[in-house]
C-alpha cells in the first residue's frame, strides 16, 4: 500500500487511517509513506498531531507496523520522509 502526501489531508484521523490500512493488508504486506514535512516554526497546521517525522513514525508503529527503513531528503530544509514498513506476520487483524 502506498500513501503519498496523504497525511496532511487526513491528519486528525491519520492514526485511524493507519489502523484501517493494517486491517485490510495481508500479513507481511508493505506500507510505503512519502510525506513532506516543514521545518520547526514553519508548520502552521496540525501541530497538535504531528510536528516532526519522528511523530509520524511513532503513529506507524502504534498501528502495528514494523518500520524496516526510512529515508529523509533535505532534512535541513522543507523535506521529504519516505517510510517502508510491513504488517508483521502473525499480526492479528483489527
- Grid coordinates given for 7: 497525511
Task: Please check whether residue 92 lies inside any domain of the structure.
Answer: no
- pTM over 0.75, yes/no: yes
Q: Which tens digits make up the pLDDT trace of 69-93? A: 999 887 666 778 889 999 988 744 4
For residue 53, the domain's CATH number is 3.40.50.150
pLDDT at 68: 94
**What's the total number of domains in the chain?**
1
Q: Which tens digits make up the pLDDT trace of 2-61? A: 999 889 899 999 999 999 999 999 999 999 999 988 877 787 888 888 888 899 999 999
Q: Is the CB of residue 82 less than 8 Å from the CB of residue 32? A: yes
Task: Kindly state the DSSP code that residue 90 receives in the 8-state scheme.
Answer: T
Task: Please check whether residue 30 lies inside any domain of the structure.
Answer: yes
- Grid coordinates given for 87: 504488517
Amino acid at each position: 500500500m502506498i500513501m503519498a502526501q496523504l497525511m496532511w489531508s487526513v491528519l486528525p484521523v491519520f492514526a485511524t487511517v493507519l489502523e484501517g490500512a493494517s486491517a485490510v493488508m495481508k500479513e507481511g504486506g508493505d506500507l510505503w509513506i512519502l510525506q513532506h514535512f516543514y521545518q520547526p516554526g514553519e508548520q502552521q497546521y496540525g501541530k497538535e498531531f504531528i510536528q516532526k517525522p519522528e511523530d509520524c513514525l511513532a503513529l506507524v508503529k502504534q498501528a502495528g507496523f514494523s518500520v524496516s527503513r526510512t529515508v529523509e531528503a533535505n532534512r535541513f530544509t522543507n523535506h521529504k520522509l519516505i517510510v517502508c514498513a510491513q504488517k508483521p506476520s502473525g499480526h492479528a487483524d483489527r
